[in-house]
Amino acid sequence: MSGRVLVGVKRVIDYAVKIRVKPDNTGVVTDGVKHSMNPFCEIAVEEAVKLKEKKLVKEVVAVSCGPQQSQETIRTALAMGADRGIHVEVSGNDYETLGPLQVSKIMAALAKKEDAQIIILGKQAIDDDCNQTGQMTAALLDWPQGTFASEVTLDGDKIKVVREIDGGLETIKINTPAVLTADLRLNTPRYATLPNIMKAKKKKIANVKPADLGVNLTSKLEVLRVEDPPQRQAGMKVETVEDLVGKLKESGKV
Amino acid sequence: MNAYVMLGVFQTSQKLRTSLRLLSRAGLPPVDLQVQLLLRGRSPLSATFSRKLHLGPDGPASSPAAAPRRLPFSRVTVEDLTFFRKTLPGRAITDPDLVQSSNEDWLKSVRGSSEVLLRPQTTQEVSQILSYCHSRNLAVNPQGGNTGLVGGSVPVYDEIILSTSLMNSILSFDKISGILTCQAGCVLENLSLYLEERDYIMPLDLGAKGSCQIGGNVATNAGGLRLLRYGSLHGTVLGLEVVLADGQVLDCLSTLRKDNTGYDLKQLFIGSEGTLGVITAVSILCPRKPKSVNVVFLGCETFDQLLKTFQLCKGMLGEILSAFEFLDSECMRLLNTHLKLANPISDCPFYIVIETSGSDSDHDSQKLHNFLEEAMTSLLVTDGTVATEESKIKTLWSMRERVTEALTHDGFTYKYDISLPVERIYQLVTDMRQHLGKRARSVVGYGHVGDGNLHLNVTSPAKDPALLASIEPFIYEWTAKFQGSISAEHGLGLKKRNYIYYSKSRPAVAVMGKMKTLLDPKGILNPYKTLPDDLK
């Protein structure tokens, strides 16, 4: 067993930023807007680093698909404790149409190339909320998947995963190699400490093109329109109960 | 009961409450509840009788922070209320439940007994109110966000509360010069949000931003977290519109960066704590929103290393440095315990929050990286973490901004805001800890170390006059010994007015008195505050 963990980290608009729709309604404004690592990806990195600290895995490799700036996201993962990074260069129109299917093809190809034992991803990205990449990657590799993980325990060549599902918690045991996706309560990501931030500057980030991995990035999806959700209407104050009943009747609600 | 008897009860109840309030200041438990029971359905006579029972011949022995006797201002009459209701329809509030929260300060440490809360919307209305109150000799307490920490924002007795809360319009913003003009009641955070959308920021920032209003900020010359970079309000405020005690509107609302034509009157009102005039509009110079903000949280073993880190920081990050704050391990303990905020790094005796703001993230990261490497290799800093993302920046800042909140959960808090030569700052904290020993629950130090400003706080399980007597005047004498300021940014308000002589000479204070008499001869604006009692 290689003992290698592949962690996918996505560069997204920071969750504290107010999102603006482009005037032409083709997307959201990203220029000059603060970006950061997807919070669920942070949890994924933290879990991988924890496994390494427990000596259950040997190497953590952080992967990001995107333009030049994705390297910053990989650096953050390195500062948290990942050993090296792989930047899969995708830019321009390819980046606009990059979605879970393309990313999962890339992750599957990398998993084979790097002889990964476990792939950990965030359960979903906060920009598209797709919640598909982990599942698609597992399907492409024909690997078992432990999604919405809130607890992960390595047990020999098996993994015990406690999953958060609608009805409560479900515990499953899957074989390795496997794909896991991290849910909110899996762990609390550490702050990157100064010594690690310094060390991260010296860690390697390899540059790879999707074509090198034999991946075709064409998307079958087309975004037609992006809109703001409807504005919330202001409430109304009334003086008496009679007024309230009157207004309810007027608006046809009663 | 006829109108006269009712008035009698009204007035006597005022006297009862105020005399009991004086007693509470001396350390006796409040007896408001007993007053209510006494007054309900009783004649004025029995109320007066009770008053004699509770009040001694000369009143209570006063601590310098205690309220002085009520000055002979007029009391609010039915006619007065009629005028207010006509001038401010629907905005002259006398419902006790609504007035109550404006009678008490944020710390819940002082409470007045005002029965009238006025909420004007325009400068004209403020002028009409003040003109009337001036002619009637009615005392007025201007109030903004009521977040002040020295009891300056709430009435001491029955002063009419003049709230600027409804004066919250932004009047204009010049995108090229960055000059913002707005009414005094605009909440600081709202102004920040407005500006951020236009690629600017306010030149000041404080923990109270969600509630404090710009008029109050200017009236108290608020400092805050960005003073290190953008300077004080004395520099960033370009103009003010002020209504004077007699109702005259003084329009100094210039939007010029440079204007040397005569005495700069606005400087008088900045920091005057509502005692020289009521600020109704502000024009302020705003800086551009920085493209790149980094926040660093560092841990140091000793205060000496902290100061060396500060020097290193100024040398290597000087032009992009926008904040340099510190907190001690006791603060961290309170944050962990009361607010469940986890320490981002390992436990250290001292913590620093450094913020850089610049126009180029690559340049700034490089400068920051060099600084951090140097700080670590020379062992000035034992641990730390860096944040570039908005969400992480907010979390790291909350470690510093929420100390005040954490303290309120630790018990009754005695707050001190001292300016000292930077090398001496922490010595005051250690000396205070030694001096108080086990009598205090916590003694913490934190603040704008980059500005030489310490926030020293002491907590005890409950209000403890004996503890207070140990803290004061020890702390003020200590400060005076090193020519420090006994109130760096919080102002004097009610609580610190009599300590002014620790930091200002008698001749200086005498001139202040003359200015007050000039601008407010009847003394109706925010009486009992800011200037010491012995001036009257």
pLDDT tens figures, B400-416? 999 999 999 999 999 99
As a whole number of angstroms, the distance between CA B219 and CA B499 comes to 19
As a whole number of angstroms, the distance between CA B163 and CA B240 comes to 18
Confidence class for position B191, pLDDT limits 50, 70, 90 = very high
- Considering only the beta carbons, identify the residue of B291, B385, B394 that sits closest to A194: B385
A191, A193, A202, best to mutate vs chain B, most B CBs in 10 Å: A191
Instruction: Enter the DSSP assignment of B278.
Output: E
- Cis? peptide before B68, omega within 30° of 0: no
Mean pLDDT across B140-166: 97
Q: What is the mean pLDDT of chain A?
A: 93
Highest-confidence range of B18-27, B46-55, B208-217, by mean pLDDT?
B208-217
Alpha-carbon distance B365 to nearest alpha carbon in chain A (angstroms): 11
Q: What is the pLDDT of residue B60?
A: 42
Strand arrangement, sheet containing A4-8: A168-175, A158-165, A145-155, A178-182, A118-122, A4-8, A59-66, A84-89, A205-208
B535 vs A98, residue with greater confidence: A98
Question: Which positions in chain A touch B372 (Cβ < 8 Å)?
Answer: 194, 197-198
Does the pLDDT of residue B353 top 90, yes or no?
yes
SS3 B525: strand
Alpha-carbon distance A64 to nearest alpha carbon in chain B (angstroms): 18
pLDDT tens figures, B384-394? 999 887 888 98
Domain B170-285 fold is 3.30.465
Q: What is the pLDDT of residue B280?
A: 98
Q: Is any Cβ of chain B less than 8 angstroms from the Cβ of A191?
A: yes
Q: Mark yes or no for CB contact B391/A36 under 8 Å.
A: yes
Half-sphere exposure of B405 (CA within 13 A, CB side): 14
Tell me which of B41-45, B68-72, B232-236, B432-436 is least confident: B41-45
- Considering only the beta carbons, identify the residue of A14, A15, A193 that sits closest to B385: A193
Q: Is any Cβ of chain B less than 8 angstroms from the Cβ of A68?
A: no
Confidence class for position B47, pLDDT limits 50, 70, 90 = very low
Spatial CA neighbour of B529 closest among B484, B499, B486: B499
Centroid of chain to Cα B354: 24
Three-class HEC string of B169-205: CEEEEECCCCEEEEECCCEHHHHHHHHHCCCECCCCC
Confidence class for position B5, pLDDT limits 50, 70, 90 = very low
Question: Which positions in chain B touch A43 (Cβ < 8 Å)?
Answer: none
Instruction: Determine whether A126 is exposed, middle or buried from the number of CB atoms within 10 Å of its CB (0-12, 13-18, 19+).
Output: middle
Alpha-carbon distance B119 to nearest alpha carbon in chain A (angstroms): 20
Q: What is the pLDDT of residue B36?
A: 40
Does the pLDDT of residue B42 top 50, yes or no?
no
Does the pLDDT of residue B45 top 50, yes or no?
no
- Considering only the beta carbons, identify the residue of A39, A191, A195 that sits closest to B344: A191
**What distance separates the 2 farthest-apart alpha carbons in chain B?**
83
SS3 B161: strand
Confidence class for position A138, pLDDT limits 50, 70, 90 = very high
Query: What percent of chain B has pLDDT above 70?
Result: 88
- Considering only the beta carbons, identify the residue of A36, A188, A194 that sits closest to B389: A36
Confidence class for position B27, pLDDT limits 50, 70, 90 = very low
Q: Are B449 and B324 in contact (CB under 8 A)?
A: yes
Q: What is the pLDDT of residue B536?
A: 62
Q: What is the pLDDT of residue B121?
A: 97
As a whole number of angstroms, the distance between CA B420 and CA B400 comes to 20
What are the extents of the domains in chain B? Answer: 170-285, 292-482
A31, A68, A194, best to mutate vs chain B, most B CBs in 10 Å: A194
CATH architecture under which domain A2-250 falls: 3-Layer(aba) Sandwich (3.40)
Give the residue on B whose Cα is nearest the Cα of A18.
B197
Q: Mark yes or no for CB contact B385/A16 under 8 Å.
A: no
Bridge pairing between strands B249-252 and B321-328: unpaired
Mean pLDDT across B377-384: 93
Instruction: Determine whether B470 is exposed, middle or buried from the number of CB atoms within 10 Å of its CB (0-12, 13-18, 19+).
Output: middle
Mean pLDDT across B501-527: 96
pLDDT tens figures, A79-109? 999 999 999 999 999 999 999 999 999 999 9
Q: What is the pLDDT of residue B49?
A: 34
Give the residue on B whose Cα is nearest the Cα of A12.
B389
Does the pLDDT of residue A211 top 90, yes or no?
yes
- Considering only the beta carbons, identify the residue of A15, A39, A194 that sits closest to B384: A194
Alpha-carbon distance A34 to nearest alpha carbon in chain B (angstroms): 7
Alpha-carbon distance B61 to nearest alpha carbon in chain A (angstroms): 50
Which alpha helices (H) appear in A66-174, and where do they start and end? 70-80, 93-96, 100-114, 133-141
Give the residue on A whose Cα is nearest the Cα of B372.
A194
pLDDT tens figures, B444-484? 999 999 999 999 999 999 989 899 999 999 999 999 999 99
Task: Give residue ranges of B with CB < 8 Å to any A CB.
Answer: 291, 297-298, 342, 344-345, 369, 372-373, 376, 381, 383-392, 394
Does the pLDDT of residue B54 top 50, yes or no?
no
- Considering only the beta carbons, identify the residue of B383, B391, B392 that sits closest to A193: B383
pLDDT tens figures, A159-176? 999 999 999 999 999 999
Confidence class for position B62, pLDDT limits 50, 70, 90 = low
Does the pLDDT of residue B105 top 80, yes or no?
yes
Tell me how many degrees the CA angle B261-B266-B271 measures, rounded to the nearest 5. Answer: 150
Alpha-carbon distance B389 to nearest alpha carbon in chain A (angstroms): 6
Spatial CA neighbour of B437 closest among B466, B415, B404: B466
Bridge pairing between strands B321-328 and B442-447: antiparallel
Q: What is the pLDDT of residue B25?
A: 43
Q: What is the pLDDT of residue A254?
A: 74
Q: Mark yes or no for CB contact A16/B291 under 8 Å.
A: no
A19, A31, A69, A197, best to mutate vs chain B, most B CBs in 10 Å: A197
Does the pLDDT of residue B322 top 90, yes or no?
yes
Q: Give this prediction's pTM.
A: 0.79
Q: Mark yes or no for CB contact A194/B383 under 8 Å.
A: yes
Q: Mark yes or no for CB contact B376/A195 under 8 Å.
A: yes
Q: What is the mean pLDDT of chain B?
A: 88
SS3 A180: strand
Q: What is the pLDDT of residue B389?
A: 79
Which residue in the block uniquely carries the two structure tokens 């992009």?
Answer: B320
B57 vs B359, residue with greater confidence: B359
Domain B292-482 fold is Alpha-Beta Plaits (3.30.70)
For A103, B359, B366, the CA distances from B363, given in Å and listed in that order, are 32, 8, 5
Structure tokens at A129: 């909320």
Q: Mark yes or no for CB contact A195/B369 under 8 Å.
A: no
Does the pLDDT of residue B53 top 90, yes or no?
no
Question: Which positions in chain B touch A188 (Cβ < 8 Å)?
Answer: 342
Query: What percent of chain A has pLDDT above 70?
Result: 100
Cβ pairs A/B, distance under 8 A: 50
Mean pLDDT across A14-42: 90
Does the pLDDT of residue B8 top 70, yes or no?
no
Which residues, in sequence order, are bridge partners of residue B290? Answer: none
Q: What is the pLDDT of residue A195?
A: 85
Does the pLDDT of residue B500 top 80, yes or no?
yes
